[in-house]
Amino acid sequence: MSDLTVGLLSAAPALAAAVAMVAVAAHSDRTRERHRHVAAPLVAGAVGFAATAATLDTPLLATAALSLSAIGFTSALGRFGRSRRRS
């Protein structure tokens, strides 16, 4: 693969994770349901890790699975980055 292709494939998981982290955090704030917005992304991240291991021979599928893993784990961490408001 060319250097450009490798660079784009390497950037895809981080870009997808950044967009998803903001979207999941906004949805969590809107619905005020914190537990599901931590548990569901962690499950998605675990599935992404398993899928990455199963698709290593196909770079495009492995990148998609790695993106799912990055989306899951960073979306779950987004709920811990903000401190609670004091009343």
Instruction: List, for residues 34-48, the tens digit of each pLDDT value.
Output: 888 888 999 999 999
Question: What's the mean pLDDT when you consider all of the chain?
Answer: 85
pLDDT higher than threshold 50 for residue 18: yes
Alpha carbon distance 55, 46 (integer Å): 14
- Which amino acid, 40? A
* pLDDT (mean) for 62-84: 81
Alpha carbon distance 26, 52 (integer Å): 28
* pLDDT (mean) for 26-32: 83
Alpha carbon distance 3, 26 (integer Å): 35
pLDDT higher than threshold 50 for residue 15: yes
The alpha helices in 1-87, defined as continuous H runs, are 3-31, 34-54, 59-77
Question: Which two tokens mark 64?
Answer: 């998609």
